[in-house]
Structure 1
Amino acid sequence: MPVVIVEMWEGRTIEQKKQLAEGITSSFVKIGVPQEVVHIIIKDNPKHNWAIGG
């Protein structure tokens, strides 16, 4: 069972997250993974919790 964890900045709509999950699932299905075993976790993070380059 593949588990995909997506961490991104908050602000996407539920519909955008659904589209993202459908796209990720579709990629797994194309390589022979059954749709029903694909698990996707989307973590919304506020931008102030990210640092790049220190």
Structure 2
Amino acid sequence: MPIVTINMVAGRDRAMVQDCLREVAKTVSRTLDAPLSSVRVLVNEVDPELWSVGTTLKSEERPTGPTP
């Protein structure tokens, strides 16, 4: 049973994240020749105030595109 975990900063559109979950599950199923029903994909969304790149918190960064 393949298990995929995606860690990301919170704030993306919920429908976009759900589409990602479905696409990842289909890709893992196809590339590993695993039954789709056996693939588990989960997303951990982290508050931007609790995620840093070096010493800069994600909440301190200026937006550069459509996603946080």
Q: Which amino acid in 2 is paired with 1:51?
A: S
How far the C-alpha of 1:20 sits from its partner, in A, is 0.4
Q: What residue number does 2:20 align with?
A: 20
Give the structure, 1 or 2, with the largest relative contact order (CA under 8 Å, sep 6 or more).
Answer: 1
TM-score (norm 1): 0.83
Unaligned residue ranges in structure 1 (runs of 5+): none
Q: What is the aligned-residue RMSD (CA, Å)?
A: 1.2
Structure showing greater Rg = 2
Identity of aligned residues (%): 19
C-alpha distance in structure 1 between counterparts of 2:4 and 2:42, whole Å: 6
Alignment of 1:25-36 (within 5 A): 25-31=25-31, 32-36=33-37
Q: Which amino acid in 2 is paired with 1:16?
A: M
Q: Which runs of 4+ in 1 moved over 3 A?
A: none
